[in-house]
Structure 1
Amino acid sequence: MIKPNTSQTTRVLLAEDDETNIQVILAYLSALPTLELMVVKDGRAALETATVNLYELMIFDQNMPFITGDRIIRHLQASGSINAHTPVIRLSADTTQTKDASAGSSRNIHLSKPLRQNELIDTIKLLLTNI
């Protein structure tokens, strides 16, 4: 049985394949010391991790090797995964993506790259009430 997080930390899954982007996001998120980050570098690892570990937030790059961010979201929701209702921030450098294209949920928000720290932090605070 999977137990909900009862500690003071907020568990976050970050799936990003670009090492520079990972380092930038980690630096930005250092402003929120209660976040406990799990970092994976491709869509397959993100899907595998998200099916067995409960997270309070997931941050997915849209264009990752093996499986795209939106496909991971759709799979988790359709399968009734433990993270089926977990809020997601979907990142993309593709400027043709729209903010409402995040798999049809107000709990899924699209942010364009390059990221701005205040935009990422504000979005996390919007999605999570415990930080």
Structure 2
Amino acid sequence: MASDVSQTKFQVLLAEDDEVNQSIVQAFLFDVNVELTIASDGRQALEAALTHQYDLMIVDQNMPFITGDRVIRHLRAGRTMNATTPVIRFTANADHPPFDLSTAASVLEVTLPKPLSRQDLVSTVDALLRRHSAAS
């Protein structure tokens, strides 16, 4: 019997140290078919990503203990279970281009600027989950 994919919740790691931003992302994704795991710093994010498989990771660039970039580099270099998981990076860095989609090594990564737009976040999450599902 075929399973109904629409009933399956996508597993998403949100690595964000700011509680207000955590709440904003939760509110923006309230009606999206995802189950969020929240990590409040880079160490928690790395530990979660080393022990659980995610369909998508949403990572703040500037987190305590380990930066978002370092978390992602460690996961990619170590050939972990999330080595090819798509990533949305949040940054408040004005020098970073918005919607920077890179597919280096067949891994989808998008950079979104802060403050976040609900439409941008939801459409990006939807697009990355669809591509990831199609590739799996």
Q: How does the TM-score come out when normalised to structure 2?
A: 0.84
Which structure has the larger Rg over C-alpha atoms? 2
Question: Is the contact made by 1:42 and 1:67 (CA closer than 8 Å) also made in structure 2?
Answer: yes
CA distance in 2, matches of 1:50, 1:82: 8
CA RMSD of aligned residues (A): 2.0
Alignment partner, residue 88 of structure 1: 87
- 1:118 partnered with 2:119: yes
Residue 120 (structure 2) pairs with residue 128 (structure 1): no
Pair 1:76-2:70 in alignment: no
> Any runs of at least 4 consecutive aligned residues in structure 1 with deviations exceeding 6 A, and if so which?
none
Find the aligned partners of 1:62 and 1:27 in 2 and give their Cα distance. Answer: 21
TM-score using structure 1 length: 0.87
2:13 aligns to what SS in structure 1? strand
Q: Which has the higher helix share?
A: 2
Q: Which residue of 2 aligns with 1:3?
A: none
Residue in 2 that maps onto 1:57: 56
Cα contact 2:100–2:112 (8 A) shared by 1: no
Report the identity percentage.
Answer: 47
Q: How many matched pairs?
A: 124
- Unaligned runs of 5+ residues in structure 2 are none
Matched position secondary structure for 2:24 = helix
